[in-house]
A and B are shown apart, each in its own frame.
Chain A
Amino acid sequence: MDDAIIQIRDLNLYYGSFQALRNVSMDIPEKAITAFIGPSGCGKSTLLRTLNRMNDRIPGTRIEGKISIGGTDIYSQEVDVETLRKKVGMVFQQPNPFPKSIFDNIAYGPRLHGIRNSKKLNEIVESSLRAAALWEEVKDHLGRSALSLSGGQQQRLCIARALAVEPDILLMDEATSALDPISTLKIEELVQTLKDRYTIVMVTHNMHQAARVSDRTVFFLNGEIVESAETEKLFSTPKDARTEDYISGRFG
């Protein structure tokens, strides 16, 4: 693929003796939304976490193969994982705002990376909240605790927080599965607006969401890629029988 910002080649991942990913190879295009779908335990979240090396935090994890982002092998010695995570952001399944004010939540990331000037921070907070479609709702109470927001708002806050460090890639790990349908829809619309500026990789257990929102879809089963195609093609004319079974609800 010409415009692939992420290239994965022959990736095998082990948690201790358990193999979670087998021979995964794929390209993820830039400034598009790619969805990973599959039944629970198929390895899609695990693969997502390799992209920002959050798997490093789990002891006993072993990786074989190569993952390149922007042409650089992210597991090589010359990569500092802090900067990798700055450029590859993540939003988690359960909203996890810090028990701090809304402002301090968004400013947390920039402050980590050395930005102290309060004018600059104010700008970053505003632009991040606008990008996450949350600014109008919270602009008058930036000092309030982030925990006072509703679930859907907290998740948009987490998106804004991730955007505040100006990543190139945004990883979303089942980011709407803990939310109500209305909040879910709001976030799906939000994600559509983000793809002009960010490459988005989303894991979802809801294949209809993948069909609604993504440009490319990859179907996983038991740690392997079964099929990967443009979303429309995958859902209308799946090539693999297992894909067709999953999509038509025969399992999963």
Chain B
Amino acid sequence: MTGWNRADDHVRVLRRRRTDWLLHLLFLFCTSIGVVVLLVLIIDIVIDGIGYIRPELFQNFPSRKAAESGMKSAIVGSLYMLLIMLPLSFVFGVGAAIYLEEYAPKNRFARFIQLNISTLAGVPSIVYGILGLTLFVRLLSLERSLISGALTMTLLVLPVIIVASQEAIKAVPRSQRDASFALGATPWQTVWRSVLPSALPGVLTGVILAMSRAIGETAPLVMIGALTYIAFLPAGLKDSFTVMPIQIYNWISRPQPEFHQLAAAGIIVLLIMLLMMNFSAILLRNKFQKIGKE
């Protein structure tokens, strides 16, 4: 055997192992940056904003004086907007997904629609704002109102819901459809009575995630004209309105530190709402999974 020096090899292996160990640490460090930043973010915001978490935050309208300001109109505006968005985005989103998965022939046109949807998912949200401004506010004369905002946001989240619903529908095994058809079901009966009920957990999770996204979006609504100083609750669809992110933005834009703290308080409220929504999505998913198995 020539040139097989065990000592040399061993040293090399040790060096490689040490490099591996160092890089392991480096990679772990980088990964934890994400977790660390999240913690820092949360702690910073809580420290800044906790002072303003009090009933007035929820009961008062915004005002020029920080001590009297609250985000009642923003909270209500966000909730109203969600309420309008929910049925619209659900129907159009799930409907499109059902069409694409169960009815559309696998041809170029279907692929075009699919491509279209994934492209829309990558369009910056402010461009949706431009669309909403032109189409809803001006062309349909819906003005800078709650309904314009809700419609614009529906268009924004539609791709998310469609993709999530498609995944959920695809996950229903072919054998289930076969069983349904073999019993004499029509295509719609199979969708309505077998495929959709099975796909529902995934669909609902997608819808809730889409709503979470919508509630945190600022840019498109700025363009629609969700105004930053609303001291009333919208009573009708065509009323002006504001939403939490815009109210927060408004407070951030003021120079006084008290308004920054108010903004932090508003952020806390927003984040808690998001947490509740995501939590309920997880609960729902678990509940449905359990029903299928017991």
Contact = CB atoms under 8 A, between A and B. Distances in A.
A108 B186 CA distance: 13
Contacts of A5: none
Interface string A28-56: 00000000000000000000000010100
Interface stretch (B108-116, B177-185, B226-234): B177-185
Contacts of A109: 183-184
A86 B182 CA distance: 8
A232 B189 CA distance: 44
Interface stretch (A13-21, A92-100, A115-123): A92-100
B285 to A, nearest CB: 14
Contacts of A69: none
A74 interface: no
B198 A82 contact: no
A147 B290 CA distance: 11
A161 interface: yes
A148 B293 contact: yes
A165 interface: yes
B294 A96 contact: no
Nearest to B106: A59
A68 interface: no
Contacts of A148: 293-294
- Residue among A57, A94, A96, A145 facing the most chain B CB atoms (10 A cut-off): A96
A109 B193 CA distance: 11
Interface string B202-229: 0000000000000000000000000000
A85 interface: yes
Chain B, interface SS category: helix
Contact of A98 (B176, B184, B186, B293): B176
Interface residues of A, number: 31
B278 interface: no
A13 to B, nearest CB: 18
Interface in B168-197: 173, 175-176, 178-186, 189, 193-194, 197
A145 B294 contact: yes
Interface string B266-294: 00000000000000000000000001111
B178 A54 contact: yes
A113 interface: yes
B183 A147 contact: no
B182 A98 contact: no
Interface of B: 106, 173, 175-176, 178-186, 189, 193-194, 197-198, 291-294
15 contacts: A57-B178, A83-B184, A84-B184, A85-B184, A92-B175, A92-B178, A96-B173, A98-B176, A98-B179, A98-B194, A112-B185, A145-B292, A147-B292, A147-B293, A158-B179
Interface of A: 52, 54, 57, 59, 82-86, 89-90, 92, 94, 96-100, 108-109, 111-113, 144-145, 147-148, 158, 161-162, 165
Given A85-B181, A92-B179, A96-B178, 11 more contacts: A82-B185, A96-B176, A96-B179, A98-B180, A98-B194, A99-B176, A99-B198, A99-B292, A108-B180, A145-B294, A165-B183
